[in-house]
Amino acid sequence: MKRIFWRGVWLSLVGVIFVVFSSSAVLASGIQITEKGTKGLGNAWAGGAAVAEDASTVWWNPAGMTRLDDNHAELSMHLIRPSFKWDDDGSTTILGEPLSGSDGGDAGGPNFVPNFFYSHAFGDKWRAGISIVVPFGLETDYSDDWKGRYYSTKASMFSLDINPAVAYRINKHFSVGAGISAQYIDAELKNKVDYGTIDAVLAGGAFGLTPQQDDGKAEVEADDWSWGYNLGVLFELNENTRFGLTYRSKVEYDDDDGDATFKTPDAAQGLAAIIGTEDTGTSIDLDMPASASLSAYHKLTEKWAIMANVTWTDWSSFEELRVEFDNDAADSVSTLDWDDAFYYAVGATWYYSDQWTFRGGVAYDETPVPSAKKRNPRIPDDDRFWVSTGASYEFLDRWGIDFAGTYIWTDGDPKIKKTTDTEEDTFRGNLVGDYEAYSYILSLQINYTF
């Protein structure tokens, strides 16, 4: 009865938290959210695929479940607070006029990201588990009057990944694991439309509109389900040293049931009818990238362990964000041309006592954005450094609590140089400037073993 009761408590908590925070999304490296579990965050995800010390290994490397005795349930919550403050450096319209408006304020803001993990033991060799995480996310929110409003005023994407997995211990050295992901995304993109400049360039001012004053609003919304898979191998050289290798597949979305809505000034209604900026359905194709991780863990002494990780992400599959309109208006395109990127991390763990464990780690996180010209105000990403620390406390026999904190800063000020010499940005303006960017993360996790 006790087991049934506590399982019910956990499932109820998970349901409540994912409903409450289901609209939360946050910008990470690219649009990836690395925060999945709290113990690993304390090491900056060093050794992510090899440590296998709690149920979050269901996500990081399902083969690691074979190292877990009993059954494990974990619920974590991350407060992620990115900051993106843009500073103008001579932005102009295609007509050569300075872009009017403010610098946009802080486009970042606090977000809450939940995780849930469960691992169940079936004898000595078999394990099964499930992870429920937010793998990708995006939220940038500028003031409506900022100078880059024709590129974006708000971009938001929430994703949810439900990943059941199994693991099998082949022998004392090798374990394998595999899982299937059901993944959901919900995206919203908003920007202003400069009908005045469009009128001046395309119609010679025939509609009498004023550049940067007769603005309209555009909003695109889309959501879709898709699926992928993950594979993992754990090699345990001995009781103190192990290596993990994992692969997560690409997830392809093809949503042809989105919506585009426009708010157009009365004076611009005629022009809107000609260029097709009227309410209509949309289609969006989007590929979330494949990734692979190689990790190592080594226990130096009874009290100290070190770990390392390298992760490759196939961001080159993320070539563009294209919205096709059902009314045959010209596609809305944001060319990205991202590059593959690597994440490198090293960390250490101090097993201070039976109750207390302390962690630390540093990481270097490459951006997929190839240049200032390709950097988009919806995703003002750049290379970044991580410093993390964390602690665990075991109490009440089967219960534990984990804490972690991380500070992330960019390698210099991310620069943006969008120009009107590309067809897609002709009426959006020459947006030139740089960002002051940083993030911090605070994480809490509750563990129950039964």
What string of H, E and C letters represents the secondary structure of 244-280? EEEEECCEEEEEEEEEEEEECCHHHHHHHHHHCCCCE
Q: CA-to-CA distance for 367 and 315, rounded, in angstroms? A: 9
Q: How confident is the model at residue 27 (pLDDT cuts 50, 70, 90)?
A: very low
Q: pLDDT for 283-319, tens place per residue? A: 888 889 999 999 999 999 999 999 999 999 999 988 8
Number of domains in the chain: 1
Burial of 131 per CB tally in 10 Å (0-12, 13-18, 19+): buried
Q: pLDDT for 309-325, tens place per residue? A: 999 999 998 888 888 88
**CATH number, domain at 400?**
2.40.160.60
Q: Give the model's pLDDT for residue 225.
A: 95
Q: CA-to-CA distance for 138 and 141, rounded, in angstroms? A: 10
For the entire predicted model, the pTM comes to 0.89
Q: pLDDT for 31-90, tens place per residue? A: 888 899 999 999 999 999 999 999 999 999 999 999 999 999 999 999 999 999 999 999
**444 or 23: which leads in pLDDT:** 444
- Of 444, 384, 437, nearest to 81 by C-alpha is 437
- Element of type H or E holding 434: strand 431-449
Domain limits at 220? 2-449
Q: CA-to-CA distance for 189 and 395, rounded, in angstroms? A: 45
- Of 138, 282, 130, 305, nearest to 220 by C-alpha is 282
Amino acid type, 439? S
Q: Give the model's pLDDT for residue 424.
A: 87
Q: pLDDT for 398-419, tens place per residue? A: 899 999 999 999 988 999 999 9
